[in-house]
Structure 1
Amino acid sequence: MLTDVHFGLSLVFWALAIIGFLMEAFSLVDVLRRPAGAFPAANKQTKKLWTIILSFATLFGFAAATLYLDSLGMFAIAAFIAAVIYLADVRPAIKEYGGNDGRRMGPYGPW
């Protein structure tokens, strides 16, 4: 019975690691798509710094999701927090300063 609980808990943590990795990868792709001038205009750190932070976050998230190393636990949590900060604070601030999110804009709005 104890091994079933342990296996179920391991599965839950692995699923959370996968979700964290997907968030970190999405954040990295998003920061690469944004123009560099939008970051200082929004009074945020530079694009280069956010690219480095999110690259390491994605690396640690990938390692945690695929290898599930207990020693990476703190790094995986820090990587998830970096992605959440980018998605919740930086991304909304820089959206209005550039980048069209892949949408085409016509003279009267998106088309």
Structure 2
Amino acid sequence: MLYTKLGHTGLKVSRLCLGTMTFGWSADEKTSHAIMDKAIEVGINFFDTADIYSRWIPGNSGGESERIIGTWLTGKDRRNVVIATKVRGKMWDGVNGEGLSRH
């Protein structure tokens, strides 16, 4: 696996990043954990997520991929994984439900 420096952070990340948008949606927790295990096995240490992933599913408020990554990290060496996320997506209806509000 090829790695590159992540800006000026000093972190080295795999040039391939595992996108986790389907975690908790079309990939259940067990499958998602297996995907992350395989990614680490082949040298991918860079995972992308967002708190809005799976928000579009009826009855789901979002954050599923982040929750699944969190349960997967339990018992893992967190120092070996770099997680990227995003801000600003709409999380709920209302004046403070999107953007960079303090709430």
More helix per residue: 1 or 2? 1
TM-score of the aligned structures, taking structure 1 as reference length: 0.28
Higher normalized contact order (CA 8 Å, seq sep 6+, divided by chain length): 1
**Structure number having the greater strand percentage:** 2
